[in-house]
Chains A and B, each alone.
Chain A
Amino acid sequence: FSTFGKNLKWEKNSLTYRIVNYTPDMSAPEVDDSVEKALQVWAKVTPLRFTRIDNGTADIMISFVPQEHGDSYPFDGPGVFLAHAFPPGPGTGGDVHFDEDESFTFSSNTGYILFLVAAHEFGHSLGLSHSYDPGALMYPWYSYNNPDTFVLPRDDVNGIQSLYGPNPDTDGDIDKPEPPTTPDACDSTLVLDAVATLRGEMLFFKDSFFWRSYPQSNTPQQTLITNFWPEAPTHIDAAYESQQSDRVLLFKGRRVWAFSGYDLVRGYPKSISSFGLPKRVKKINAALYDVESAKTLFFVGSSYYSYDEAKKTMDQGFPKRVDQTFSGLTGEVTAAFQYRSYTYIYSGPYMFEYSLSTGRLFRLLNNNYFLRC
């Protein structure tokens, strides 16, 4: 998280807010409710309390305005900027402006959910700047979240409490929902959901995030899966790059999504039975594409299947037991990929390095070996 420095914060815990005007995109009660809920996101974790006034000047003045609107930070029409807000202080301090040219909504998937945009902007009104944590509410990009199940992420809680402290009424309350945290590449207990290559890069998936490791750069870059593939699932089971079709395929439960670049391929998601996997297979644990044979191995429990990418059929003689081919691999496979002719199989917090052609095990490494901790 980051703050605006110079200790820009309110010197009082009771703040007033006023909704100066409304957007035609939503009913007035929907706007009222979205704003109130967005303020409560911050009140829940601090001593801050918010009171609405309908006349005069409030600490936080909220308005919907288009283009140039008098504060020398013009909006850009329907486009990139959704809203902005000012750090705590007198006058425009704390005020929030929504770009009237954007389409706001109460809860549907079409348009930007006003609650989410408002909760972010109120973070600025209270003294938070943007966060580097891609899972934080204070990350600059808008990303969809279900407003009914939203829980303020840990990074944002730490940020706002660094300014105002915890909520004295609920601090220590054991049944309040645990703030979600963003996976840490250097957590030695990290168990990855899936690993795949993508045009020479490596992608490491965990929960709603993935790390992209570029051959030329030192540190893998973490981002939300939906930042790149808005239609993609999170908490996936498996992933692989089909170099045959120049696509990345993501698996979750009985379904598979195929992406070409940023775009979901027409006709996806499909059922995994479309590969010819038996109907009884409810999910796959891992998938890897073998460049040499142009076969894809699907790992299911302690067995694996072989799929011929060229013929688009399952190979005969499968499933085989994993430990029949991969010596020393007795645990469940959690992820797999091939890189520079080596085959890497993840099982729990470990990564096994093999030669697929000989089945020989070279090294036993940590899960975050490629994440360069």
Chain B
Amino acid sequence: MNIFRLAGDMTHLFSVLVLLLKIHTIKSCAGISLKTQELYAIVFATRYLDIFTNYISLYNTIMKLIFLGSSFSIVWYMRRHKIVRRSYDKDQDTFRHYFLMLPCLILALIINEKFTFREVMWTFSLYLEAVAILPQLVLLQRTRNIDNLTGQYVFLLGAYRAFYILNWIYRYFTEEHFVHWITWISGLVQTLLYADFFYYYFQSWKNNVKLELPA
């Protein structure tokens, strides 16, 4: 464990807490894409298959349980909770996210570290996570006024993977093992997808104006 990875995990945890806070306290999911939340639930479900069979550390197991629990409960809130679901604008959240899953699965079957079920699932979860934010970014461009919590949520979600890239660089220079290039590339693509959001987020913060993404 290094400071970059810890910062990444804490940023990721914080993004999830900000979202849960928004949904649980003000009982609203306005501006949040259910499709992205569903994709993230699938990302964690396919990545943490070995949560009970492959013990890494208490921290690792607890964080996996938090990410699994929070992502599925957010999906539950947005689908089932009688108040929260009313604030979900489904006619705006129209990204065909299932169409994202098939190319990721096919790519995982072709490009992976080891052709085993678990390894293919893990690779699938990496590719899927790289594109999981797309429905949310599309929704942000459609909903004009982005509220602060939603903007912070997306910002933190993007920032965590950027910290992971620093972690991979650090590990490359300090450990005899190396992190596989599949992880590097999908992490890089994921972070680059946030580039324009980061730009507008920084502009809105610098000029102290409401965050707006060009349509």
To the question of whether A and B form a pair in one complex, the answer is no
